[in-house]
Amino acid sequence: MPRRLRLLLFLVVFWMTVIACGLGAPAEPASIQPSQPAAEEPSALPTGTPGLPPASPTFAPTQAAPAPAILESRRLTLELPVQIRAGDGDTIRMTLEVDDLGNVTPTAQIGGNQVQGQVVQIPNLYETHNILAEARLDLAGAQVTPVETVSEPLGPGRSVTFFWSIRITEPGTYKGVAWLYMRYIPKNGGPEQRETIAAQLFEIEGVSLFGLKVGPARWLGLAGSFFGSVLGFPFLEDILRWLLKRRK
Compute the average pLDDT of residues 187-195: 92
Looking at residue 159, what DSSP letter applies?
Answer: -
pLDDT band of residue 191 (cuts 50, 70, 90) is: very high
Q: Looking at residue 66, what is its pLDDT?
A: 38
From CA 203, how far away is CA 146, in angstroms rounded?
19
Q: Looking at residue 196, what is its pLDDT?
A: 95
pLDDT band of residue 43 (cuts 50, 70, 90) is: very low
From CA 171, how far away is CA 213, in angstroms rounded?
8
Compute the average pLDDT of residues 133-148: 96
Share of the chain above pLDDT 90, in %: 41
From CA 82, how far away is CA 92, in angstroms rounded?
11
Q: What angle do CA 193, 196, 202 make, to 5 degrees?
A: 160
Contact present, 78 and 120 (Cβ < 8 Å): no
Q: Is pLDDT above 90 for 38?
A: no
pLDDT band of residue 55 (cuts 50, 70, 90) is: very low
The 10s digit of each residue's pLDDT in 142-172 is 999 999 999 999 998 889 999 999 999 999 9
- Ramachandran region, residue 25 (left: φ > 0; alpha: ψ -120 to 50; beta: rest): beta
pTM here is 0.57
From CA 156, how far away is CA 72, in angstroms rounded?
9
pLDDT band of residue 6 (cuts 50, 70, 90) is: confident
Domains of the chain by range and CATH?
71-210 (2.60.40.10)
The 10s digit of each residue's pLDDT in 172-182 is 999 999 999 99
The 10s digit of each residue's pLDDT in 112-133 is 789 998 999 999 999 999 999 9
Q: What angle do CA 85, 160, 102 make, to 5 degrees?
A: 95
pLDDT band of residue 8 (cuts 50, 70, 90) is: confident
Q: Is pLDDT above 50 for 56?
A: no
Q: Looking at residue 154, what is its pLDDT?
A: 94
Average pLDDT of the residues of the chain? 75
Contact present, 159 and 98 (Cβ < 8 Å): yes
DSSP string over 12-40: HHHHHHHHHHHHHSPPPPPPPPPPPPPPP
Contact present, 97 and 117 (Cβ < 8 Å): no
Compute the average pLDDT of residues 81-90: 91
